[in-house]
Structure 1
Amino acid sequence: MSRPIRFDVSCEEAYDYLVAPDNRPEWQSSLAAVADVQGEDNVVGQHWTDVTKARLRPHMELTDADRPHRWSERGTWRGFSATLTLCFTPVGSVCDVTVGLDMQARGIARPVGAVLNRMAPSAVRSDLKRAARILAERAGDAPTR
């Protein structure tokens, strides 16, 4: 997932939109809602529950927040855990976002974890492209890619 995704807004705007749990169902295809959000947006330790369309409810926590450069979150559900890191690079007046994803599975979930590791990167990229389109539309611009 090393190719960046272009956001036609500033890094601050992209960061603020992506880091806020309440925005997630709008751009994250697997989410129906978020619940139990506790703590302030963009503050390490903020946590919430993702309510997925598949009715899974992973616990999420913001683990790194360096606005507008980088943020990381960790999600856990039963034998699975995943860490997502987004890095924001200004390109003139717009922003490139690069993604790091590390998924782990324990015990009998290991084979499923291996499959998820292969599938998840394309899903994350697709979701981020959706977020870029949403922000471009709000800014009144057509997305560049």
Structure 2
Amino acid sequence: MKGAAGGTVRFAVPRETAFDYLADPANRAQWQASLRRVEDVVGEVGNGQTWTDVTKPGLRPRMRTKAYEPYDFWAEHGEWRGVRAYLSLELLEHDGGCEVGFRFAIHLPYVPAALSVALTRASVPAVRADLRRAAQILAERSGR
């Protein structure tokens, strides 16, 4: 992903549990702060599945799973009015749980690339916070 930024978040659950939860669009509104709901899901959880994120500001990007490698790697691509966003997750076992590495990028049409890079970097804390929320939900469900 050109211009991507990222980080890591630790989960207190096995990577299989984290992967299954994060890769399923039906769970997204539980842990992604900007979402109201997910609509128009087409296909089973896996590579090529599509859905529409309905965001709190009213944006409705069409999303697609671009990579699905249980329980190691998952990636999505979303597009709304020419704005494209990419997210990938790599899951590694770590001390009885897992570590989720993320890479994120936003590409804006008709603007200098530096603006897309700046917006990407500014969005990393929100992506990290969403993944931390997912980790907390899963930890509570598992009693950890």
Give the structure-2-normalised TM-score.
Answer: 0.90
Query: In 1, distance between residues paired with 2:90 and 2:71?
Result: 8
Q: Percent identity?
A: 42
Q: Does 1:86 align with 2:89?
A: yes
Q: In structure 1, the residue corresponding to 2:21 is in which secondary structure?
A: helix
1:106–1:36 Cα change, 3 Å: same
Q: Could you tell me which runs of 5 or more consecutive residues in structure 1 were left unpaired when the two chains were aligned.
A: none
Alignment of 1:74-113 (within 5 A): 74-107=77-110, 113=116
Corresponding residue for residue 130 of structure 1: 133
Cα deviation code 1:97-145 (max 9, x no counterpart): 000112111115978645521321110000000000000000011xxxx
Q: Aligned equivalents of 2:67 and 2:24: distance in 1? A: 13
Partners in 2 of 1:79 and 1:61 — Cα distance?
15
CA drift at 1:26: 0.3
Gaps of 5+ in 2: none
Say whether residues 1:28 and 2:32 are aligned partners: yes
Matches of 1:85 and 1:102, distance apart in 2: 9
- 1:111/1:80 CA distance change after superposition, 3 Å: farther
Query: CA–CA distance in 2 between the matches of 1:44 and 1:2?
Result: 22
Whichever residue aligns with residue 32 of structure 1, its letter is: R
AA in 2 matched with 1:101: F
Match of 1:67 among 42, 60, 70: 70
TM-score by length of 1: 0.90
Question: Are 2:65 and 2:75, in contact at CA under 8 Å, matched by a contact in 1?
Answer: yes
Say how many residue pairs are matched.
140
Instruction: For residue 25 of structure 1, report the CA deviation from its aligned partner.
Output: 0.3
How much is the aligned-residue C-alpha RMSD, in angstroms? 1.7
